[in-house]
Structure 1
Amino acid sequence: MNRASLSTSSRTAAGIGYGMAAGAIWGLVFLAPALLHGFTPLELTTGRYTAYGAIALALLAPRWRAATDALGRREWLGLAGLGLVGNVVYFVLLSSAVQLGGIAITSLVVGFLPVTVTVIGSRDHGAVPLRRLLPSIVLCIAGAVCIGWQALLPSGHATGTRALLGLLCACGALAAWTWYAVSNSRWLARLHDVSAHDWSLLTGVVTGALALALVPFALLGDTACHASGDWLRFGGISAALALLASITGNALWNRMSRLLPLTLVGQMILFETLFALIYGFVWEHRPPTTLEALAFVLLVAGVITCVLAHGEAVDPIGAES
């Protein structure tokens, strides 16, 4: 193995490790709407991202000028778009989907992210041709179908209009995160003077400002009466999501995005789905069914075949900083 191949192999292995870690953290996000079912999706979103913005601003404050010197109007608008679509809109829709349809059906739809991102990424310069990714895509779809078949079986969680609305919200979350994953990877590929960690924190600052502006609407839209203990729980979970999912998870994801091509970045999203389902089983105190276990096998096989398709030297997008 020559030196170039070893370098590419090491970058791929490190990128996959970052992707798995981000997925393990992000899978926890699916539990939050179930833990805080008494609060509206907009309240959950404003709580999480206001905390995210505050933590990100505190971390960036000592070196704000250095972190923002390379940013112009275009970059700030890009951050606003990522924050609005990839964070605010996505989490409102995801929370609505979990509360209306359950964790399983939401995980199913979000499980299609590797397919949508991979198909879009296959058009990028230097990407692995789509025909080489077909086995992986087919396995991913088969796994998602298994989860969907199981999720749509009568379970008493959601029926009729409620289940349909949950499915539509999950589809909207899928569209939002597909756009975010593609756009964020391309921004990171263009920005050579901004570290992946700083880009994540800057996204947090902008998202926090957006969330703060939505707080009055969130409070006006909630007609329920919450005890002080409920608000303490809300604040604790919001802060935990901000620190773990938004700060740590996003930093890991951005580092991964600079090590892997976009077609492989799309496959890494599968780990979020897998961990979300595992956490869901623990929350529901039950083992996976036969269909769910089969889905696990198919989704993991999809990731492995995608990694093998990238076995030959492929130029990763951007450079780690």
Structure 2
Amino acid sequence: MPTSTFSPAGRHRTTQGIACGAGAGALWGLVFLAPALVRDFTPLQLAIGRYLAYGIISAVLIAPRWRTLVASMERRDWYTLAWLSLAGNTLYYVLLSTAVQQAGIATTSLVIGFLPVAVTTIGSRDRDAIPLARLAPSLLLCAAGALCIGWQALGHPASSDAGGALFGFACAVGALVAWSAYAVGNARALHRLHRMSVYDWNLLTGIVTGIQAVTLIPVSLAAEPVRHAADAWLYLGGVSVAVAVGASILGNELWNRMSRLLPLTMVGQMILFETLFALLYGFLWEQRLPAPLEIAAFGLVAASVLTCIGAHRSHAPASTC
């Protein structure tokens, strides 16, 4: 039975969903610091380290329930896990890490803030979803923010290498596309798999992602010979475990809970919490104040969230969770 997003029960679910989205954003924002902390390693090495740790930790946590979970899984579910793990984890993080190293934390985090446009547009096609026309003000505000992002990236690159900054911006856009596909696919999978808890779904995602990370090790060795000292590898391991626990285990579980509580047309808006915290962490790391265009961009995308919530409030009878 559909539940209005702003009925008494719907308001409670919405509040819970927004809280989970904020918590996931606070944890995911730390991901933008990792490439800056271990700049001597390639983005592929960073992805392998993070997702090997994610996979190993997930395997340990899920071991007691492994046989029961596998018995309940269908072939379609494994295919879904495989492409979601690739789009939302492995490919996304390689592109994200490259973007951070080439274009800077602030530019990369603001590009990811364009995610609501893609996810909301796709979500508006779901049954009983709010019409896209009602979301037009929200999407236009977010698009205006994206224009500020692009202007900042091209006009004020994070490094003296303009070509590198442009390449980093392109990688950030690629990460945006990959994660948009993940956000939509993951939300729909969670609504379909009522028998699966968000906790177990996250751990299964971790195992599949860990397997993908193992297959990338030969590629990494061929592209970049092992040349780091032992203490550098230990440092990478520590950062990888911290990111795996904070962002992949805890952050992903909060995001999955939010994805079940909110309609898809609101799910995309929640990524702006990651943008907010990533910007805060980035400015603290770079020890600078935000540039005017960065302030304008975030103000515009934040306003898009408020107008999206307002649109759902006025469309409450047709909104679903």
Give TM-score scaled by structure 1 length: 0.93
CA contact (8 A) 1:97 1:167 kept: yes
Q: How far apart, in 2, do the equivalents of 1:300 and 1:156 lie?
A: 23
- Is 1:143 aligned with 2:125? no
Per-residue deviation at 1:178?
0.7
Change (3 A) 1:27 1:156: closer
Give the letter for the 1:141 counterpart. Answer: A
Q: How far apart, in 1, do the equivalents of 2:39 and 2:320 lie?
A: 41
Q: How far apart, in 1, do the equivalents of 2:319 and 2:304 lie?
A: 21
Change (3 A) 1:10 1:161: same
**More deviation in 148-157 or 63-72?**
148-157
Residue 249 of structure 2: aligned partner? 247
Residue 232 of structure 2: aligned partner? 230
Per-residue deviation at 1:220?
3.0
Q: How far apart, in 2, do the equivalents of 1:125 and 1:243 lie?
A: 36
Change (3 A) 1:224 1:164: farther
- Number of residue pairs aligned between Structure 1 and Structure 2: 316
1:203 to 202, 205, 210: 205
Q: How far apart, in 2, do the equivalents of 1:155 and 1:63 lie?
A: 49
Q: How far apart, in 2, do the equivalents of 1:316 and 1:4 lie?
A: 10
CA contact (8 A) 1:54 1:208 kept: yes
**Residues 117-172 of structure 1 deviation map (CA, whole Å, 9 limit, x = unaligned):** 11111101111111111111112122232333333333561533212221221121
Residue 195 of structure 2: aligned partner? 193
Change (3 A) 1:192 1:16: same
**More deviation in 139-148 or 46-55?**
139-148
Any unmatched runs of 5+ in structure 1? none
Change (3 A) 1:26 1:284: same
Residue 121 of structure 2: aligned partner? 119
What SS does the corresponding residue of 1:133 show, helix, strand or coil? helix
Q: How far apart, in 2, do the equivalents of 1:18 and 1:309 lie?
A: 21
CA contact (8 A) 2:149 2:293 kept: yes
Q: How far apart, in 2, do the equivalents of 1:4 and 1:280 lie?
A: 35
Per-residue deviation at 1:291?
2.5
1:285 to 284, 287, 290: 287
Residue 175 of structure 2: aligned partner? 173
Residue 153 of structure 1: aligned partner? 155
Residue 262 of structure 1: aligned partner? 264
Moved over 3 A (4+): 313-317
Per-residue deviation at 1:192?
1.0
Per-residue deviation at 1:234?
0.2
What SS does the corresponding residue of 2:7 show, helix, strand or coil? helix
- Is 1:64 aligned with 2:94? no
Q: How far apart, in 1, do the equivalents of 2:54 and 2:306 lie?
A: 33
Give the letter for the 2:13 counterpart. Answer: R
Identity %: 58
Q: How far apart, in 2, do the equivalents of 1:3 and 1:153 lie?
A: 41
Per-residue deviation at 1:105?
2.4
Give the letter for the 1:242 counterpart. Answer: A
Q: How far apart, in 1, do the equivalents of 2:233 and 2:164 lie?
A: 27
CA contact (8 A) 1:100 1:158 kept: no
Change (3 A) 1:148 1:104: farther
- Is 1:95 aligned with 2:106? no
Any unmatched runs of 5+ in structure 2? none
2:84 to 72, 76, 82: 82
What SS does the corresponding residue of 2:140 show, helix, strand or coil? helix
Give the root-mean-square deviation of aligned CA atoms: 1.8
Residue 20 of structure 2: aligned partner? 18
CA contact (8 A) 2:153 2:166 kept: no
Residue 110 of structure 1: aligned partner? 112
Give TM-score scaled by structure 2 length: 0.93
CA contact (8 A) 1:57 1:201 kept: yes
Q: How far apart, in 2, do the equivalents of 1:229 and 1:3 lie?
A: 51
Per-residue deviation at 1:226?
1.4
**Residues 3-40 of structure 1 deviation map (CA, whole Å, 9 limit, x = unaligned):** 98100011011101101111111111111111111101
Q: How far apart, in 1, do the equivalents of 2:9 and 2:157 lie?
A: 49
Q: How far apart, in 2, do the equivalents of 1:147 and 1:89 lie?
A: 22
